Amino acid sequence: MSLLEVSGVTKRFGGIVANAAISFAVADGELVGVIGPNGAGKSTLFDVITGFYRPEAGRVRFQGAEITGRRPDEITRMGIGRTFQKLRPFTGMTVLENVMVGALLRAPEPAVAREQALHYLELVGLADQARAYARELSTGQRKRLEMARAMATRPRLLLLDEVTGGVDQRSIPGLVGLIARLREEGVTLLVIEHNMRVIMSIARRIIALHLGEKIADGPPEEVVRDRRLIEAYLGAHYA
């Protein structure tokens, strides 16, 4: 049985088809990359899986149970965590408190949530910033904070949306190392990544989206040779 099963998911915004009958399955323990040009429908797909949008057609199943149309908090509780492309930490809270918000989903009391939050801050390399306010963090550090908050909800499946997007070049290797580290924690990962070199280095399977459609799904070395993908990134002229 697959951990996650997406079948025929279609999501429209007015005349725009952001997701067009997308189907794929993710097995327990996989790290699957999701690529595609801006506007391909990647973030929308995450929004559908995590219950922020209800698809017009199709289904999402998690651990065998249908979760289509369930509320985001129910889906988080079932074991799907996510980070957001557009970061929105609680800027008036400390770094520790931000992660405690995630941990409180399951922790029986604040003291336990605090303990767990500290553990995940350690994991992402932000332990020294625990008492800082979220607004004081750099973009790279905010991405780490997002990952700690999401991990604190104890997901079985974690969706990461452009962890290296918008951070300075020097911060990228550390973030990539951290993604690999999360996998060692036992979470299955679905990773949206704009940087092709980054995704090639961590994923053994890549799903490519273009204009809402899934155009490729396979090992990185096959996917990068896919004619439709090359066209999508470079224009038909180059292909």
How far from 171 is each of 5, 60, 166, 178, 232, CA to CA, in Å? 33, 34, 10, 11, 28
Q: From the list ligand ADP, Mg ion, none, pick the one residue 39 interacts with, judged by a Cβ distance below 5 to 8 Å according to partner type.
A: ligand ADP
Query: According to the binding rule CB under 6 A, does residue 13 interact with ligand ADP?
Result: yes
The item of Mg ion, ligand ADP, none sharing an interface with residue 18, based on CB under 5 to 8 Å by kind, is: ligand ADP
Q: Is 108 helix (H, G, I), strand (E, B) or coil?
A: coil
Footprint of Mg ion on this chain (CB under 5 A)?
42-43, 85
In this chain, which stretch among 31-39, 91-99, 137-145, 196-204 interacts with ligand ADP, using CB under 6 A? 31-39
Residue 42 in contact with ligand ADP, rule: CB under 6 A: yes
**Element of type H or E holding 69:** none
- If one asks whether residue 36 binds ligand ADP (CB under 6 A), the answer comes out as yes
DSSP structural state of residue 133: B
| Identity of residue 124 | V
By CB under 6 A, which span of 38-46, 93-101, 127-135, 215-223 interacts with ligand ADP? 38-46
Nearer residue to Mg ion within complex by CB, 85 or 195: 85
Residue 53 backbone dihedrals phi, psi, to 5 degrees: -125, 145
Residue appearing with tokens 């997308």: 22
Q: Give the nearest residue (CB) to Mg ion.
A: 43
Q: How far apart are CA 167 and CA 149, in angstroms?
A: 19
Report the amino acid identity of residue 102: G
Residues in CB range of 32: below 8 A, 6 or more apart: 26, 189, 190, 191, 203, 205, 206, 207
List 38, 92, 168, 169, residue binding ligand ADP (CB under 6 A): 38
- Considering the complex, what minimum distance in angstroms separates the CB of residue 9 from ligand ADP? 12
Figure out which of the listed residues 6, 20, 40, 148 binds ligand ADP, where binding follows CB under 6 A: 40
Length of the chain: 239
Q: How many helices (H) and strands (E) does the chain have?
A: 9, 10
Are residues 123 and 179 in contact, defined by beta-carbon separation less than 8 angstroms? Answer: no
Q: How many residues bind ligand ADP (CB under 6 A)?
A: 11
Q: Among residues 10 and 94, whose Cβ is nearest to ligand ADP?
A: 10
Q: CB 85 → Mg ion: shortest distance, Å?
A: 5
Q: Which residues bind ligand ADP (CB under 6 A)?
A: 13, 16, 18, 36, 38-44
